[in-house]
Amino acid sequence: MKIVKSIKEMQEISIALKRKGKIIGFVPTMGYLHEGHLSLIRLAKKKSDIVVVSIFVNPMQFGPKEDFKRYPRDLKRDTKLARKAGCDVLFIPSQKQIYPDRFSAHVNVEKLSDTLEGKFRSGHFKGVTTVVAKLFNIVQPDLAFFGQKDAQQVVIIQKMAQDLNYNLKIIVAPTVREPSGLALSSRNIYLAEDERKTAKVLFESLQKAQSVIEQGETNSFKIIHEMEKMILSKPKTIIDYIAITDSKTLEPLEKLSGEVLISMAVFVGSTRLIDNLKLKVK
């Protein structure tokens, strides 16, 4: 596995690979790799000739009161895990490289970035799309891999790629969960032991919603109310939002039909967790 720190070198490698007709699969990450990331790397390995993984904790997608400084980092461990999972090129640019002095261009996907997570994390998705646009230009992937865990991020990046004519395919892999149902996230490390037990209620509430929907319930207000009751019955929980939306437009649905996304952000103690489920409603 090659470790690349310079943007220019990464671009040169990608150009050379493309000239040889190689399919480049790309997994962008912020590091502190877990099984969710590794499943994306393994999938990329199956579908591409060369797998590029980036590690960059992107300051632009963190709000001033968020956890940029304390976000977990362990490059040594990440390097080993990425290599083992099948990464060919590990791209680790510095903050100075990605955002040199007087950096001023941004990519923003309007509307989709302002709803759900966007209402609570102003500027977050603008930071995500700006860095992902840059990474796409640097790595020039044919395939880019993202996890369904960040459902809104996936929808926004797909729209960005479509609207800005990126010549690549976005592949979305299912959320990887602990046996308890808790979705894997680098931020799970912040959870105390009792909080980790509580945190499984997010997925339990999604499963409850699924079963109620399968029994024919289509009133989103009633479903959300059931989910809220379940979550708030657990200690140390605060709900930022639970929403049922169209899976592509992310517009709220009063009556469920078509492909819907049930998504939520919930604080367990001081840790903010997100989770979601995509369902087809008959």
Q: How far is the CB of 147 from ligand PAF (least distance, A)?
A: 7
Beta bridge partners of 232: none
Tell me the Ramachandran region of residue 93: left when phi exceeds 0, alpha when psi lies from -120 to 50, beta otherwise.
beta
Cβ nearer to ligand PAF, comparing 150 with 195:
150
Q: Tell me how far apart the alpha carbons of residues 78 and 73 are, in angstroms, rounded to a whole number.
A: 9
Report how far residue 207's alpha carbon sits from residue 132's, in angstroms, rounded to the nearest whole number. 32
Q: Which is nearer to ligand PAF, 231 or 273 (CB)?
A: 273
SS3 100: coil
At 21, is the secondary structure helix, strand, or coil? coil
Q: Cβ contacts of residue 195 below 8 Å, gap of 6+?
A: 236, 268, 269, 271
Active site residues: 37
The Cα 51–Cα 25 span in angstroms is 5
Instruction: Summarize as ranges the residues that interact with ligand PAF (CB under 6 A).
Output: 28-30, 58, 61, 128, 131-132, 150, 153
Which residue is it, tokens 């797909």? Answer: 158
CB closer to ligand PAF, 58 vs 247: 58
- Select 114 or 228, whichever has its Cβ closest to ligand PAF: 114
Cβ of residue 246: shortest distance to ligand PAF, in angstroms?
Answer: 22
CB within 8 Å of 90: residues ≥ 6 apart: 1, 2, 3, 4, 52, 53, 54, 55, 79, 82, 83
Please say which residue, 13 or 151, places its beta carbon nearer to ligand PAF.
151
Q: How far is the CB of 273 from ligand PAF (least distance, A)?
A: 14
For residue 160, the minimal CB distance to ligand PAF (Å) is 11
Residues 6+ away with beta carbon under 8 Å from 26:
44, 51, 52, 53, 54, 135, 136, 139, 141, 143, 144, 145
Smallest distance, ligand PAF to C-beta of residue 61, A: 6
Q: Which is nearer to ligand PAF, 61 or 245 (CB)?
A: 61
Nearest partner of 153 among 137, 168, 175, judged by Cα: 175
Smallest gap from Cβ 28 to ligand PAF, in A, equals 4
CA dist 197 to 137, 203, 265, 266, 282, Å? Answer: 41, 12, 17, 14, 34
